[in-house]
Amino acid sequence: PHHRHIPSLSLLAVRILKRALLWTYISATILRGLVLGVYEKQSDNDGIHLTEAAAAFDRSISGKLSEMLSISGPPLKKGKSRIFYGLHQDFPSAVVVGLGKSGTCVCGKENWNNCKENIRAAVSVGCRQLQDLEVAHVEVDPCGDGQSAAEGAVLGLFEYDELKTKKKVRVTTQPYGSVDSAAWQKGVLYGDGQNLARQLMEAPANHITPTVFANSIEQKLSPFAHKVAVHKRPQSWIESEQMGAFLSVSKGSEEPPIFLELHYKGSLDSAQPPLVLVGKGITFDSGGISLKPSSGMDAMRADMGGAATVCSAIVTAAALKLPINIIGLAPLCENMPSGKANKPGDVVRAKNGKTIQIDNTDAEGRLILADALCYAHSFKPRAIINAATLTGAIDVALGSAAAGVFTNSDWLWERLHKASIVTGDRVWRMPLFQHYTKQITESALADLNNIGKYSRSGGACTAAAFLREFVTADHWAHLDIAGVMTNKDEVPYLRKGMSGRPTRTLVEFAAVRTSRDLRV
């Protein structure tokens, strides 16, 4: 009787082996997905308008995609998606995404390129849908613009989950069909740059201190060491440079300040004046003695968003091998309350000798930027651009629609504006009237007051006027990015959280500058 069980055991083993092989096959195939684009109909009489890549895919499966789109529901609107299974043996899961109407590109009213924005939004929707299905490899329809498609994929898939036990599946992407590989790779690098800024801004303040921030950027730039010099200036150097405003903010914290200085030498012309980017680097802002409300204070881990975007832009410029010279400056410290911290009414002296009455210790960003801007002039720059999560007032004025730009240069404004139209990460010009300058130069105890006579009126404008007191360059722009620091659901291709804006606009501005354009 015992031997009678042997055949049944063998049969069971065969069945188990078959199931294991089947599961291995399914696992190898189900983890691949495809994102394809479809345009809205121009009129009710039009047929389904697929992209070039989607049409080629449709032909390869004898029109099944068009057939399924016709019978599965109403035509796809912009940003909507529909998923199909089993259409193609290589792609068990295929997501079709709506691109809106074709041919609607630069929009003067919206100040961006509709085509590019639609592609970014649509591709991100498709990639996320496949990520939720734990598809690990996704091929993406370039939708006629490989760079925008790559940006949508890279930006849309990012989520900060480094400190979570359960993480989302890591998805690799590549273009589907014929594509300009250089454009796709450029989009990947643009997206990676903004994601680096998002990662730095999202990380808890006990994980990204001034020292850790500087080390992180140094590590990111290590592959480009032949083109980039990294200087992590310690407190002794800051003192030797007489940066009294910066030091006054940092002294309230146990964390030592760092003045991060990056030199990217991309131009073969050593005489080319550099573009200098300056970023506010408050790695946590409690408000100091003028303590912020506890509600929402955790978001102040991202008060170094200016430094994050500036440094990430330089990392991206190096990866792109841009043929210009860029210098990045990031004063890094915490703004904390302690027995050593600034007190309301204190007077400090900036690097250029001007004295500043500190009536609100929570207006600290302009103090550290004042010294950094003074130092920026020592490089005889073609232009200076600083970025800072500087005022809640800019959020009140513009919300998350655009970063506010205050500039003394029409030349610089026009180029920043054009760059933002391409990236969809918009900027909007704000005034630098003498009206605001008078408010910060009328101080009882010093040359300047750090919040101005009317602290609640035109706060973003008075902050910009304060910074202008430390600028002598002909081409300077201050980007107040407090309003675009976070994303709720305003930018469809970014998940909720820190946005990393406007990294891509800074990169695009640098990318389209030529050696001749940057020459004095």
Give the DSSP H or E segment for 309.
helix 305-320
Please name which of 379, 280, 276 lies closest in space to residue 330, comparing C-alpha atoms.
280
Residue 411, helix vs strand vs coil: helix
Residue 493, helix vs strand vs coil: coil
User: Alpha-carbon distance 88 to 24, whole Å?
Assistant: 18
Q: Which of 32, 354, 366, 415 is catalytic?
A: 366
- Any bridge partners for residue 497, and if so which? 487
Q: Do 316 and 265 contact (CB within 8 A), yes or no?
A: no
Q: Is 15 an annotated catalytic residue? A: no
- Taken as a whole, the chain contains a residue count of 520
User: Phi and psi for 444 in degrees, rounded to 5?
Assistant: -70, -35
Q: Which of 292, 349, 429, 453 is catalytic?
A: 292
Helical spans, DSSP H, in 110-224: 114-132, 146-157, 181-202, 210-221
Q: Do 251 and 335 contact (CB within 8 A), yes or no?
A: no
Cβ atoms < 10 Å from Cβ of 321: 9
Please name which of 471, 310, 301, 481 lies closest in space to residue 391, comparing C-alpha atoms.
481
Q: Do 187 and 146 contact (CB within 8 A), yes or no?
A: yes
Contacts of 515 (CB under 8 A, 6+ apart): 267, 269, 272, 323, 324
User: Alpha-carbon distance 311 to 295, whole Å?
Assistant: 29
User: Alpha-carbon distance 336 to 161, whole Å?
Assistant: 27
Please name which of 21, 473, 496 lies closest in space to residue 276, comparing C-alpha atoms.
473
Give the DSSP H or E segment for 506.
helix 503-511
Pair type for strands 112-113 and 106-107: antiparallel
Q: Do 325 and 440 contact (CB within 8 A), yes or no?
A: no
Q: Is 366 an annotated catalytic residue? A: yes
**What residues are annotated to the active site?**
292, 366
